[in-house]
Amino acid sequence: MAIHPSAVVEAGARIHASAEIGPFCVIGPKVTIGPGTKLLQGVTITGRTTIGARNVIHPFCVIGGDPQDLKFKGEDSTTSIGDENVIREGVTINKGTMTGGGQTVIGNRNMFMALAHVAHDCVVEDNCILANACLLAGHVRIESAAILSGWVVVHHFATVGQQAFIGGASRVNQDAPPFMIIQGMSAEVRGVNVVGLKRRGVKPEAVNALREAYRIIWRSALPKPEALAEVEKIGGQFAEIRTLIEFLRASDLGHMGRRREIRRPAPAPSAPPPEPEEDIE
Amino acid sequence: MKSHPTAIIDPAASVADDVEIGPFCIVGPGVRVGPACRLGPRVTLQGPVTVGRGNVFHAHATIGAAGGGRIEIGEGNVFRESAHVDAPKTGAATTIGSQNHFGTWVGVGSGSRIGSSVRIGSLSALGENCVVEDRASIEGQCVIEDNRLIGASSFIRAQVPVTADVPPLMQVDGNPSEFRSLDPAGPAPAAAGGAP
């Protein structure tokens, strides 16, 4: 185990023999760090945080810090990070809240570029990219292989679908459908993420079916239920089309275009009216 | 005072007995820290800085600068990771009221005056000599130009560049920014003018 002598590792921390802890790092007592993970200088890992294997965490990141949420009352919630993630300078990842499920989860092989922020109770699946200064508010889910360009803000309880591409400085207020390009101050679907789909080896027939689905759902006058039925009829043999339809129907079952709104805890009957914006990541 | 041995606390600083100071912090001469404050790892307090009771500074928060002007901070504020407050270049102090929340990487420009119960989201930047009145709410990635007034109980949506003063109780959105409505999430006008 290579721990620089200037690092502060509190008693109780579990660090694998092959992990490397750089100068001036601060590791809390409930932290577990897996094999081959490297912390460069000045990294802070706190809270009940588990970090898997072969991650690289760059200077001045703070992982497992308290949520920026008024409901948080000091509960012992968790942060879990998988394997082979790259977390660049100044990234902050907050732990969960008990009312939001109690855990913030990062999967495998993701890249978080400098200054990105992941709030409480978020889930980032695998192979995602969050470019510089992206902000995820609380309870957000980013599905596999989604790409968020620089300075993207995602509204709390929103979901970004798999292999979606969010254009730079967009504001994602509602669920962003899978396989699509989404962009804008109030982000809208702009087209199919053809480049991303090709890179991930999606068959040309499926890409063409997604193009047709885009035309029917977002560029025709058909009401949404009829449009989805039409897309299902002509492209239902493709897994990507079924995923897209399932995603859109689930979003409609939520509130304000966000499926995960159903996870928002109901206020107690005697409580004062809740603040609509529970946090302002 | 519970101070980590790697922290550097100037003998001329005045720190209350129950303050917790984390690893690698720097507390310069002329700094006064009130009771029940917590400083996380690598927090820097420099210059003539007065910090009231119960403030929490998370990792890398930076308040003031050596040789800078006066900064006054009230009670019960939370400064998240890498938030920074600039010392005034000339004249009046940079002042922060009480019970405010500053998100990660929030910057407060020199000479600005922040009221109380204000929330500022991550990566938002306030220019120099700004005034933010009580209960204003500013979401993430906003940019407030120098010398702007943000009225009491106003609400500024994410990523909005604020180029003009914002009246009390208004909601501001868009790029270029425009007034959208009375802030529907804010308090009723009758309540908004009262004491915090």
Q: Which helix (H) or strand (E) holds B131?
A: strand B131-132
Instruction: Mark yes or no for CB contact A26/B141 under 8 Å.
Output: no
Nearest chain A CA: its distance from B185 CA (Å): 6
* Of B151, B140, B152, nearest in space to B103 by CA: B140
Q: What is the DSSP string of A123-185?
A: EE-SS-EE-TT-EE-TT-EE-TT-EE-TT-EE-TT-EE-TT-EEPTT-EE-SPBPTTEEEETT
Residues of B in Cβ contact (< 8 Å) with A8: 4, 6, 23, 41
Q: Are the CB atoms for A143 and A161 separated by under 8 Å?
A: yes
- B20-58: pLDDT as tens digits: 999 999 999 999 999 999 999 999 999 999 999 999 999
Residue A276, domain member (yes or no): no
In a domain, A101, yes or no: yes
A70 in a structural domain: yes
Residue B186: predicted pLDDT: 58
Q: Please report the pLDDT score of residue B192 as a whole number.
A: 34
What is the pLDDT at residue B67? Answer: 86
Output the pLDDT for position A222.
95
| Residue B126 CA: distances (Å) to CA of B135, B144, B161 | 16, 5, 10
How far is A135 from A148, CA to CA, in rounded Å?
A: 10
The pLDDT of residue A188 is 93
Q: Report CB contact under 8 Å: B141, A276.
A: no
Given a contact cutoff of 8 angstroms between Cβ atoms, the answer to whether B65 and B86 are in contact is: yes
CATH number at residue A62: 2.160.10.10
Q: Which of B40, B82, B119 sits opposite A280 (nearest CB)?
A: B119
Q: Whole-number mean pLDDT of chain B?
A: 91
State the nearest Cα–Cα gap between B100 and chain A, in angstroms.
12
Q: How far is A152 from chain B (nearest CA, A)?
A: 9
Cβ atoms of A230 and A209 closer than 8 Å: no
For the entire predicted model, the pTM comes to: 0.89
Q: Establish if A44 belongs to a structural domain.
A: yes
Q: What pLDDT is recorded for position A267? A: 67
Identify the bridge partners of residue A167 per DSSP, sorted by sequence position: none
Identify the residue among B139, B155, B175, B177 best suited for mutation to test binding to A, counting A beta carbons within 10 A and taking the highest.
Answer: B139
Bridge-based pairing of strands A86-87 and A14-15 is unpaired
State the pLDDT at residue B178.
Answer: 80
Q: Calculate mean pLDDT across residues B169-182.
A: 84
pLDDT averaged over every residue in chain A: 93
Q: What is the percentage of chain A residues whose pLDDT exceeds 70?
A: 94
DSSP collapsed to 3 states, B11-77: CCCEECCCCEECCCCEECCCCEECCCCEECCCCEECCCEEECCCCEECCCCEECCCCCCCEEECCCC
B81/A92 CB distance under 8 A: yes
Dist. CA A98–CA A121, nearest whole Å: 9
Give the whole-angstrom CA distance, residue B144 versus residue A26.
Answer: 34
The predicted-structure confidence for B123-133, as pLDDT tens digits, reads as follows 999 999 999 99
Of the candidates B101, B121, B123, which has its C-beta nearest A115's C-beta?
B123
Number of structural domains found in chain A: 1
For chain B, which domains are there? 2-192 (2.160.10.10)
Confidence of residue B175 (pLDDT cuts 50, 70, 90): confident
Distance from A233 to chain B by nearest Cα, in Å? 39
Residues B189-194 have a mean pLDDT of 36
Give the pLDDT of chain A (281 residues) as one tens digit per residue: 699 999 999 999 999 999 999 999 999 999 999 999 999 999 999 999 999 999 999 999 999 999 999 889 899 999 999 999 999 999 999 999 998 999 999 999 999 999 999 999 999 999 999 999 999 999 999 999 999 999 999 999 999 999 999 999 999 999 999 999 999 988 999 999 999 999 999 999 999 999 999 999 999 999 999 999 999 999 999 999 999 999 999 999 999 999 999 888 776 665 555 555 555 55
- Residue found by looking up tokens 């970004």 in the block: A160
- DSSP letter at A232? H
Cβ separation A8–B60 shorter than 8 A: no
Pairing type for strands B178-182 and B170-173 reads: antiparallel
pLDDT confidence of residue B193: 33
Residue B188 banded pLDDT, cuts 50, 70, 90: very low
Residue A95 contacts residue A65 (beta carbons within 8 Å): yes
**A152 compared with B193, residue with greater pLDDT:** A152
Angstrom distance (rounded) from CA B136 to CA B156 = 8
Q: Which residues of A form the catalytic set?
A: 120-121, 138
- Host domain of residue A12: 2-139
Locate A38 and state its tokens.
Answer: 């490297």
Tell me whether residue A59 is in a domain: yes
Residue A111 lies in a domain: yes
Separation of first and last alpha carbons in chain A: 36
Residue B185 pLDDT level (bands cut at 50, 70, 90): low
Residue A275 lies in a domain: no
Neighbouring residues of B163: CB distance < 8 A, sequence distance ≥ 6: B145, B148, B176, B177
Is B134 a residue whose pLDDT tops 60? yes
Classify residue A39 by its DSSP letter: E
Chain B environment of A68 (Cβ under 8 Å): 80, 101, 103-104, 122
Range in A259-263, B77-81, B134-138, B187-191 with the lowest mean pLDDT: B187-191
Between chains, do A90 and B121 touch, taking CB under 8 Å as contact? no
**Which residue has 């308040």 as its token pair?**
B63
Report chain A residues whose CB lies below 8 A from the CB of B41.
8, 26, 44
**Residue A279 is assigned to a structural domain of this protein:** no
Nearest Cα to B177, choosing from B153, B149, B156?
B156
> Which residues share a beta bridge with A183?
A188
